[in-house]
Structure formats: C-alpha cells, structure tokens
C-alpha cells in the first residue's frame, strides 16, 4: 500500500484490563502497526472501587510494544469518556492533521489500519467526506463493493481529519431549537431508528455522550461517511462492562480480513446500504419501554456492584477493627 504519513492511532482506556489487552493485541497484529504512532489517553478512577482496575490497565500499558512510537497520557482525575475523547481527538488532530480513533473494547482486523489509512489518504481533499468508519452492521454485503458512503457515522473504530473535526460542536439545545421535523426524520434514517433520542437525553442531562454530536455535526454540514461493506472491527464491550453499552449480540458479525481495498466511484449515499441498515434497525429495534427497563436494570446492577466493591475495600482497610 502506498500512503502518505500514517495517521496516529488514538486509544482511550479506562478500567477494563482484559478488554484493553485484547484491543492492543489485535491492533499490534495489524500489518501497519510497526509503522504507526500510538497515543493512549488513560482516564482516572471515579471512586475507590475502580482504582484497582485502573491501576491494572496502567500497568498493562507499560509493557506495550510493536508500534513505531508509544505515548501515554494518564489523566490525574476522572474526566469521563465523552470529555476524554473530545479533548484527545482535538489535540491529536491539531498536532497531526488526522487521527484513527479506538476505545478499549474494539478488536480490529489485521487489515484495519490498511483500510483506515488508505481511506484517509484517498479522501483527504474530498471535503464532503467527513468520517471513515471501520465497523459495519451485520448486513448482506453483496452489491456494496468494498465500501460505501452514507449519512451516519459509527464510532467503533473510526477516523477523520482536522479540517472536519474542528467543526465538532456539542450543543443539544441548539439542535433542539433549530432542527425541523424533516431534519430529525432524516437524522433518524427516515424514522427507522431514533438517534434523536440521544440528543434529547443529553439535553436533559440523563446521559453524557459525544458520538451523537459528531454525527449531528456531519449531518448539519451534509457530509458523508465511509463504511466497509464487511466489518473490520468487533465491539467486545457489549457485555455490560462499557460506560454507554448494554448487553446485546445483534451488532456482531464475522470479522473481515480483506485487503487491497477499492473505493466507491460516486460520492453519494448508497441507497442499497441505507435500505439494508434501515431494515436491520426495524427488525431489531426494541420498544422504548424495553429499552428503558434495560437501562434501569443495568444502572441498578452497576450501583450494587460498586457498593459491594467499596464495602470489600473498606473491610480490607479496616482489618480486625471492623465490628459486625
């Protein structure tokens, strides 16, 4: 593969040592890993129950090899996933002009970096292309070529350029006040799935996320996103361990090892891909009641788990002075 300077890889980690290990091992197995610079942002623990896991992750990071260079930024206090990603991607894009972004639960194909760098080089000067995704839905790939354009971004292994990312804006109130019903319908893939709900929940301060606002930024600028026809990443964090992910297998598909990619000839949304993704959502979209119930269950399970871990730490610290 002929390429310009390879994009730096930005990895965001927190308190999942097993997931982080698998993410790093798969990334190191990529054909371009040894030529790539790896920059890691490690967030700090929110409470005492997370401190040991965070310590394990940071210890793991000290033994990394297999990349051109490795830089680790350890946050002194917890700033949360959304802020960590926004600030990290902003800093790397300002310094390098582009970035490939991963979180600590993304296992990549050995050809992931080949695809990402190839696309970032191919579309660097095509200003209507805003985002490169390494993941794709488990849809039928026949007829989609090696990759396709569409309106929505996916954040499970992705890349972009500084001159696009600089437009990123997280302002749910502005979107709610300025977008029309027609805008919202198109944003929701012609009402196939309610992405807009995430904007509302951020506005209500019930969640604090970033990806939906990158999608909104791209959508507002009429930008296009590139997806591979067959996924080059797997999200192993859909097991209840992630900050914003539940437990589901509907997004899982076979990891592609394709190389020598060809790129779409026309810079327009693939109607075939859009229809297949809309069909996927309509067949797998749970009711609002079920989604709320699942979120509440996960929330209370995490509270209980945190309380039990904190209690164990207190017992260890108290030793024989504890009285029951």
Residue 245: pLDDT over 50: no
Who wins on pLDDT, 252 or 138? Answer: 138
Class of domain 9-286: alpha beta
Residue 250 has a pLDDT of 87
Residue 81: pLDDT over 70: yes
Q: In the chain, what are the domain boundaries?
A: 9-286
Between the ranges 157-166, 231-240, 303-312, where is the mean pLDDT highest?
Answer: 157-166
36-58: pLDDT as tens digits: 999 999 999 999 999 999 999 99
pLDDT (average), residues 157-172: 98
Which residue carries 């809309």 as its tokens?
A: 278
Residue 240: pLDDT over 90: no
Residue 319: pLDDT over 50: no
259-295: pLDDT as tens digits: 999 999 899 999 999 999 999 999 987 544 455 555 5
Who wins on pLDDT, 238 or 148? Answer: 148
- Looking at the chain, list the stretches that DSSP marks H as alpha helix, in order from N- to C-terminal side: 17-28, 48-61, 81-96, 112-122, 162-165, 172-178, 181-187, 196-203, 211-220, 271-284, 288-318
Residue 306 has a pLDDT of 59
Residue 99: pLDDT over 60: yes
Cα–Cα distance between 1 and 259 in angstroms, integer? 10
Nearest to 132 by CA among 147, 143, 144: 147
Residue 299 has a pLDDT of 55
Nearest to 167 by CA among 106, 110, 222: 222
Residue 247 has a pLDDT of 46
Residue 252 has a pLDDT of 84
Cα–Cα distance between 136 and 231 in angstroms, integer? 5
Residue 294 has a pLDDT of 53
CA-to-CA separations, 3 to 88, 119, 128, 233, 283, in angstroms, rounded = 24, 10, 21, 22, 40
DSSP code at position 209: -
């Amino acid at each position: 593969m002929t390429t310009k300077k390879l994009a730096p890889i930005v990895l965001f980690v927190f308190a999942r040592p097993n997931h982080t290990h698998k993410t790093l091992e798969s990334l190191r197995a990529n054909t371009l890993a040894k030529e790539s610079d790896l920059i890691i942002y490690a967030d700090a623990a929110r409470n005492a129950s997370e401190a040991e896991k965070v310590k394990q992750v940071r210890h793991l990071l000290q033994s990394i090899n297999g990349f051109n260079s490795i830089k680790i930024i350890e946050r002194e206090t917890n700033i949360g996933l959304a802020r960590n990603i926004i600030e990290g991607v902003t800093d790397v894009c300002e310094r390098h002009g582009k970035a490939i972004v991963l979180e600590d639960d993304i296992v990549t194909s050995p050809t992931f970096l080949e695809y990402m760098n190839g696309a970032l080089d191919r579309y660097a000067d095509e200003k209507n292309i805003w985002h490169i995704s390494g993941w794709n839905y488990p849809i039928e790939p026949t007829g989609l070529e090696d990759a396709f354009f569409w309106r929505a971004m996916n954040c499970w292994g992705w890349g972009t350029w500084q001159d696009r990312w600089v437009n990123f804006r997280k302002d749910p109130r502005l979107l709610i006040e300025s977008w029309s019903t027609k805008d919202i319908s198109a944003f929701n893939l012609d009402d196939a799935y309610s992405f807009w709900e995430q904007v509302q929940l951020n506005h209500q301060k019930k969640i604090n996320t970033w990806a939906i606002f990158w999608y909104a930024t791209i959508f507002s600028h009429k930008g296009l996103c590139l997806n591979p026809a067959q996924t080059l990443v797997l999200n192993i964090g859909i097991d209840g361990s992630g900050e914003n992910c539940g437990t589901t297998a509907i997004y899982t598909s076979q990891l592609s090892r394709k190389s020598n990619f060809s790129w779409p000839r026309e810079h327009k949304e693939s109607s075939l891909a859009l229809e297949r993704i809309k069909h996927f959502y309509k067949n797998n979209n749970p009711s609002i009641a079920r989604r709320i119930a699942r979120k509440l269950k996960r929330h209370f399970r995490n509270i209980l788990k945190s309380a039990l871990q904190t209690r164990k730490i207190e017992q260890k610290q108290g030793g024989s002075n504890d009285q029951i």
